[in-house]
Structure 1
């Protein structure tokens, strides 16, 4: 998916609305070690936001002049906004160089509050910027294939609010292979020179991608946990509104946070447009990335698997190919449940919505539609998942069940609009996360 998978031109199938003074002056609430541990009153590190790392495609590289012949973002400031789900009194950042072709030198990093609490804003609240350190130093270098976790920073984060992360790279990354999450649906900003603490970025170049930043953790009270969602562009949010945080995981978080019984549940979006369960597409296949993106997520207690449309849609429309992808998908779901259960994570399976009328996936013989139905029947009836979330029932057209509900369809008969994503969010039983 672009996801649902972009190959060539045809395409195969986002924190701190707190007063600046509290953000700048906050310390560990219990006066203990900001790194957590005994004497913390049960507080522990939980991811509150994630973005699945990917190898950046040429079309999604930083725009000129920030991409050179052999170096990216040299002497450049990168300002990005992310939305926290759960809150905490301390935070730490994760930066990924999973797909970098060279070491990633981070010269200086800060965290601040966006101006007026607005997602995608280039401006930050004056005086709210705080320096981020790595082993008590302002700079760090991330080796190729690795990621880095910052030192804990006393900075109070409230649930459902936005945070601005600004990075300065003096030397840049000496490779055109870099790590990003192209489907940010949130505007980032680039400006030459070091402007890490600047309240304004006049003349900055906007780009709707995230680079390098892959996670935000908070030290949260006991009893909080994270629900990790894996999927493709239907979860990454194609058809949602840039800077409005109206993908279905965003809307699910809003609902959970509004209820006392489920407040304190982080919702982590580990999806990517074009991703597949079985084979690499845009990003590694789910079986390959499960350990990194789910099992290693801090505080993960639940996993929602809403994945498989791209596998069906990119397999040949022949009986043999569709029978094979059906068997492989069911075996993959079984493996995912087994591996997650071994880590004490409950796994919920979501049925796949229809794609009738989609130019790429709806074959004339209806073979892919039959595969989707067979996969959905297994999800509903096999009893392998700890619970089933029926997304198919939530957004199919009652008058034509092989197609999306017209009011939910973004127009390509595959992806959803914000209303459609709201229907998915509403179809998730809140009781699953108590």
Structure 2
């Protein structure tokens, strides 16, 4: 099953040079199994990436190994050349994983002829970049850089004979966990898994496919959701259900990021969400959705609120609650809004920008999803 899967996107203005160095990244695995399989991606690269060695081990403090690990191989070889525009999956690595265990994946990037282009900007987990050299099997190394993005590593499969149900959550920054505390696993998907496992230990695994700034219909910060749906939902190992929360950026994204001719309203958004519903159903998946959350009070970069946008948001939410035909709808708008001013987030959930949430807000989202799934 796909226990971790980060959708990677091209951000050419983020330019760390990953060349001749070791990159070590955290992954949180949500299922138990007897072997692991790692996915690497150069999907947005223009030139090959040469991986000289790779290694996986249990995570300890500050990027150190907490126990013995194993080399990751690719068709029996220690390294692999990932051609531009492609991805590669490793051989199975014989490492036993417990549910909710944390691992370190280390890559010696022997050669990269360009700055990193394939990454997940909102990593929410620390990564470590070494001085020049191959340190993949070292218990620890002194990092030259501490990073907060995820590079090249796009997924980890947990190979298990008793695969639970797999829910893929796809959306924008509210799925990606923008505003949650880094390394706290405070995103709603993380907190929902914890709640669900307490209720039934093998009931569900949630895979997070959120991209901050993502939109349903148009690209910008990553591909449009409708464009990446097959890759980031249908291709996830073991997927049985999908949860979609997206649309605020379509309505409110600042004009500088819009292409000429983009016109988004409630009718178009509802039609796009219906596409997600129907494409998921066509593959035999359960499909759930969340209502769009308040934006009142946003300023500066996140100056999202407008009377017109609010009317469209309310119309989309009315459709979702009453006629959308999803298998379930989590009413995030009702759970998170300020009762005194429903156009705004309740202060106790607001991370400070009046758009994104703190860990308590994501906990409220998780509670809403769990309650929906139990109905």
TM-score by length of 2: 0.93
CA distance in 1, matches of 2:211, 2:372: 27
**Secondary structure of residue in 2 paired with 1:83:** strand
The Cα shift of 1:169 comes to: 1.3
In structure 1, the partner of 2:345 is 404
Q: Which runs of 5+ in 2 are unaligned?
A: 256-260
Residues 1:74 and 2:19 aligned together: yes
CA distance in 2, matches of 1:315, 1:206: 30
State which of 11, 20, 40 in structure 2 corresponds to 1:95.
40
CA distance in 2, matches of 1:143, 1:292: 18
1:19-30 alignment to 2 at 5 Å?
none
In structure 2, the partner of 1:300 is 239
CA distance in 1, matches of 2:208, 2:264: 29
1:4-403 alignment to 2 at 5 Å?
46-58=1-13, 60-62=14-16, 67=17, 73-115=18-60, 118=61, 121-126=62-67, 128-171=68-111, 173-176=112-115, 178-191=117-130, 192-260=132-200, 263-314=202-253, 324-359=264-299, 360-363=303-306, 366-403=307-344
The Cα shift of 1:107 comes to: 1.0
Whether the 8 Å CA contact 1:183–1:273 is kept in 2: the answer is yes
| Structural RMSD (CA) | 1.8
Whether the 8 Å CA contact 2:216–2:226 is kept in 1: the answer is yes
CA distance in 1, matches of 2:168, 2:143: 37
In structure 1, the partner of 2:359 is 418
Whether the 8 Å CA contact 1:256–1:430 is kept in 2: the answer is no
Change (3 A) 1:109 1:323: closer
CA distance in 2, matches of 1:87, 1:220: 7
Change (3 A) 1:264 1:92: farther
Q: Which runs of 5+ in 1 are unaligned?
A: 1-45, 68-72
Alpha-carbon displacement from aligned partner over 1:123-174 (angstroms, at most 9, x marks no partner): 1125x12001111111111121111111111111111111100000112x21
Change (3 A) 1:349 1:203: closer
TM-score by length of 1: 0.81
Whether the 8 Å CA contact 2:166–2:239 is kept in 1: the answer is yes
In structure 2, the partner of 1:24 is none
Deviates more, 1:49-58 or 1:397-406: 49-58
Whether the 8 Å CA contact 2:126–2:183 is kept in 1: the answer is yes
